Structure 1
Amino acid sequence: MTKLSQSHYGAVVVGGGQAGLSASHYLSRHGIDHVVFEKKTAMHKWRDERWEAFCLVTPNWQCQLPDHPYDGDDPNGFMVKDEILGYLDRFARKVNAPILENTTVTALERAGGVFRVETTAGTVTADAVILATSLYGEPDIPRPAERLPPDIVQIHTAAYRSSAQLPEGAVVVVGSGQSGAQIAEDLHLAGRKVHLVTGNAPRCARFYRGRDVVDWLWDVGQYEITVADDGMGKKKHDTNHYLTGRDGGRDIDLRAFALEGMALYGRMSGVADGKMLFEANLTANLDAADRVYNGINCLIDRHIAEKNIAAPPASTYVPVWKPEAEPTELDLKAAGVTSVIWATGFRPNWSFVGLPIFDGTGYPVHRHGVTDVPGLYVLGLPWLWTWGSGRFLGVGRDAEFVVSELAAWAASPLAKAG
């Protein structure tokens, strides 16, 4: 841990996750004196907000942090939690960032030609600032949670560890994104009765035509698609595809879970009188996820045909189960529900930023991490520039670009003029 030993820095980095430490790596390479402020501890989300059976969804070879590629002996496998932490700890030691942990940035403003950064450890100024706090700030729990019966245990995915921490009884998982689907599977495998509330999350095959789908998508160039190429404007908030790397990797098929006893519902619309209420869109949600699944496979089919690659034959997913009806409510007591897990994502917290970089939704406006405020940058966001941004695969390259832009600006007459 670095003490706040000076009042001015060439750069301040807010956030000590993989994005912030990647920025520190390149700032050091450019010889820019800097400090990293982290409100908890470095990489704390990986250590403190992952369940016991958590593993990577993308193959290990995609772990490409700056000067720290995957260093194990199973590049096509999927690291489990302890292995991920080991990989990140080795990266942190290698970077040796000047980080001040347990230090919250409370205000950021522009004053006298420099940035003024107020923290719980004191106030400093800086020539430049990189916001590397990501979108995964605070757990986002919807207001209907307040109307659940008081005897039902409620936790967010950030606090889930295993089925053993929950009281006996059925569990409702609200949200079928990557975390929700995997936690629903974890509970299902533990023998729990699971009620899964679905949304618009797409799904993806784990293996197709003899290879991991991620390997195919890398060859196709999917991870190199930029926001400019894809015509998606300045931001991208797609829900991640659900699949898993557990036990060597496999599909997550909610329809197959339903055949095995998992209860599925459409999007939650509210809570009233001890009942959870749902929209009548379960069929639509499942069908939409399958269209994405088959669409990705068709993309791979075209690539195989165009390149004349020898591969096992193509196939199309055919639903193994279809809802007989659209359930619109669940009586929690009658169903024996004792726990609800909110797999409803996170909300970013940029409330400390007192500078005009946000759009009408509160999202920072930028191009490849460069904002309209000279000397202020963002890093670690999904689709910061490519489909690989924000992941272990792409965050290092984004950091290299952002820091090179920062270094060029710091050396410019504009920066020197304040």
Structure 2
Amino acid sequence: MQNTRTEVVVVGGGQAGIAMSEHLGQRGISHVVLEKDRIAERWRTGRWDSLVANGPAWHDRFPNREFSGIEPESFAGKDQVAQYFEEYVAQIGAPVRTGVQVNRVTRNQGRPGFTVETSEGSIEASYVVAATGPFQNPVIPQIVPADAPVNQIHSSGYRNPDQLPAGNVLVVGAGSSGVQIADELHRSGRQVHLAVGPHDRPPRRYRGQDFCWWLGVLNKWEMSAPPQGAEHVTIAVSGARGGQTVNFRALGRQGITLVGRASSYRDGVLRFDPDVAQNVARGDANYLSILDEADAYIERNGLDFPQEPEARELGELPACLADPLAELDLAAAGITTVIWATGFSVDYSWLEADTFDERGRPRHQKGVAQEAGVYFLGLPWQSRRGSSFIWGVWHDAQYIADQIGIQRAYAAHQPMTASALSSAASA
């Protein structure tokens, strides 16, 4: 490691780390971004082959660069997103060092700052920004035993239908990842069951505008916390095939069997909570409420937007919702694979700081950790609903850079010596 001292060490070279580097560089704050793999590695190898961004190219980007070769209303593929961040690093001259593993960060004793131990040596830093984001350790609920006679993978390990053994598939989790994977598998000719939990499902487009625009003008991206009781509600939205509104009723009518949340397993039989119809109904209500707010906004502002009454036609309930399954014999249903689209947990085992709760989750206020000198970036709801999105993390990085600047100013202040105080008092 050539440089052994810098003001800020940023851990993580994805969208959060790159945004952090831009704002630190604008303020003239010396720093280094450490990435154990390649720039934006999660976009390259932590996603399925056909993934595209869930927001259009005009929206899901940093303010100072547009996507090249993509129409503004189109959706960038995962490799295009990775290329975008590579180009952005070059544009801002970000000091990113790839292939460097951060093993341990400890606070210095008897002197300011931290020691960052890496695979290429140690770095002394005044401040540390953990920009590794929320998608670190895949979470698979302990429901189906690992030795059960069925292939089990997490959604982060899914690439395409051809990688799976022949047979039908159960996808557990119906957020953006789960619903897109289930739809892709169904279109490939597989019979698919999809376990649906609580969710929001905004319209992909309504009256000529994308949902990202609607959530913006309706001030929903700026919500500072999820509504009470909705902390674990996922969002079902898709940019696949040019962008589609997720409609679980329609998926059921097309042949995907919707079931409730997976609850228990015994002797090859998986049981489900009796909540699938209720979850879909609440998702429908969320969808219609956004249409209502959008209509009111159009009328209030006198906008000449096209009418779209057909958007309110939800369609009939499929049989799987009218008479939902309580349990499923996986072998009898021909299910050979279970895909767990059940999210991730964080892993900050490398960061030794007094700023974590009993479950290892960071304690912070808008990314400012409980322990001075430590900052987090890229977390869901870090400061607002949009915090974990590409554009949202850029604005959170701006705030963190401001906070680091404030702390630098305090640290630079030199108190008056005793003799100076005496002279001032006698003057």
User: Please, what TM-score do these two structures have when normalized by structure 2?
Assistant: 0.89
Q: Secondary structure at the match of 1:271?
A: strand
State the partner residue of 1:119: 118
The range that moved more, 272-281 or 238-247, is 238-247
- 1:320-361, CA deviations, whole angstroms, 9 ceiling, x for partnerless residues? 214232312111111111111110111110122221212454
For 1:390 and 1:98, the matched residues in 2 are separated by 23
State the partner residue of 1:379: 377
Structure 2, unaligned runs of 5 or more: 416-427
State the partner residue of 1:264: 258
Q: Contact 1:103–1:121 (CA<8 Å) still a contact in 2? A: yes
For 2:239 and 2:308, the matched residues in 1 are separated by 23
Shift of 1:301: 1.7
Q: Secondary structure at the match of 2:221?
A: helix
State the partner residue of 1:31: 28
Shift of 1:148: 5.5
The range that moved more, 96-105 or 50-59, is 96-105
State the partner residue of 2:247: 253
The range that moved more, 211-220 or 272-281, is 211-220
| Identity fraction in percent | 34
Shift of 1:415: 8.0
1:132 aligns with 2:131: yes
1:68 aligns with 2:62: no
- 1:59-107, CA deviations, whole angstroms, 9 ceiling, x for partnerless residues? 1111332522334451111112332233222123223432333333232
Q: Secondary structure at the match of 1:144?
A: coil
Who wins on radius of gyration, i.e. which is larger?
2
Equivalent residue letter for 1:352: W
Q: Secondary structure at the match of 1:411?
A: helix
The range that moved more, 24-33 or 37-46, is 24-33
Shift of 1:378: 0.9
**Distance change in 2, residues 1:148/1:281 (3 Å):** farther
Q: Contact 2:202–2:286 (CA<8 Å) still a contact in 1? A: yes
Could you tell me which of 70, 86, 110 is aligned with 2:83? 86
State the partner residue of 2:419: none
Shift of 1:416: 7.6
Aligned residues: 409
Equivalent residue letter for 1:18: Q
Shift of 1:47: 0.2
Equivalent residue letter for 1:110: R
**Distance change in 2, residues 1:232/1:372 (3 Å):** farther
**Distance change in 2, residues 1:73/1:38 (3 Å):** closer
Shift of 1:53: 1.4
State the partner residue of 1:321: 317
Shift of 1:319: 4.3
State the partner residue of 1:394: 392
For 2:133 and 2:413, the matched residues in 1 are separated by 26
Shift of 1:398: 1.4
Equivalent residue letter for 1:331: D
For 2:91 and 2:195, the matched residues in 1 are separated by 42
**Distance change in 2, residues 1:108/1:317 (3 Å):** farther
**Distance change in 2, residues 1:149/1:389 (3 Å):** same
Structure 1, unaligned runs of 5 or more: none
For 1:320 and 1:231, the matched residues in 2 are separated by 29
For 1:366 and 1:232, the matched residues in 2 are separated by 19
State the partner residue of 1:278: 272
State the partner residue of 2:188: 190
Q: Contact 2:366–2:383 (CA<8 Å) still a contact in 1? A: yes
Q: Secondary structure at the match of 1:221?
A: coil
Q: Contact 2:100–2:118 (CA<8 Å) still a contact in 1? A: yes
State the partner residue of 2:208: 210
For 1:33 and 1:182, the matched residues in 2 are separated by 42
The range that moved more, 237-246 or 377-386, is 237-246
User: Please, what TM-score do these two structures have when normalized by structure 1?
Assistant: 0.91
**Distance change in 2, residues 1:231/1:328 (3 Å):** closer
Q: Secondary structure at the match of 1:222?
A: coil
